[in-house]
């Protein structure tokens, strides 16, 4: 049973990555420029923090992006629309 769940999880992860890649290919250049500007601004903000504060903030942001296995499984079973919603969630 664990082997089947592992295989299912692998299929789920591959599908999410495939959808993410396709979504990234469809991006318009203006969005990319805006994203680069946001990344540069975030870098300036992060570099202004102390190492401890920067690590704390990084940990908090990563915790918000982590999606538990059961939730991923629910999205996958719910269908492609939910998987796309998950990708959008992961981007924010």
Q: Tens digits of per-residue pLDDT, 1-38? A: 677 777 777 888 888 888 877 777 766 566 677 788 88
Phi, psi of 79 (to 5 degrees): 120, 180
| Structural domain of 41 | 2-91
- Where helices occur in the chain by DSSP H, the ranges are 2-25, 29-47, 51-65, 69-78, 80-91
Q: Is the pLDDT of residue 42 over 70?
A: yes
Number of domains in the chain: 1
The neighbour count for residue 53, using CB atoms within 10 Å, is: 11
Closest CA to 17 of 87, 65, 77, 76: 87
Question: Is 90 exceeded by the pLDDT of residue 52?
Answer: yes
pLDDT at 81 over 90: no
Whether the full predicted model's pTM is greater than 0.85, yes or no, is no
**Does residue 78 register a pLDDT over 80?**
no
């Amino acid at each position: 049973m664990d082997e089947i769940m592992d295989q299912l999880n692998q299929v789920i992860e591959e599908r999410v990555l495939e959808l993410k890649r396709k979504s990234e290919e469809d991006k318009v250049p203006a969005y990319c420029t805006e994203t680069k500007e946001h990344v540069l601004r975030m870098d300036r903000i992060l570099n202004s923090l102390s190492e401890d504060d920067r690590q704390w903030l990084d940990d908090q942001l990563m915790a918000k992006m982590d999606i538990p296995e059961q939730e991923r499984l629910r999205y996958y079973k719910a269908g492609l629309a939910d998987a796309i919603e998950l990708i959008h969630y992961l981007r924010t």
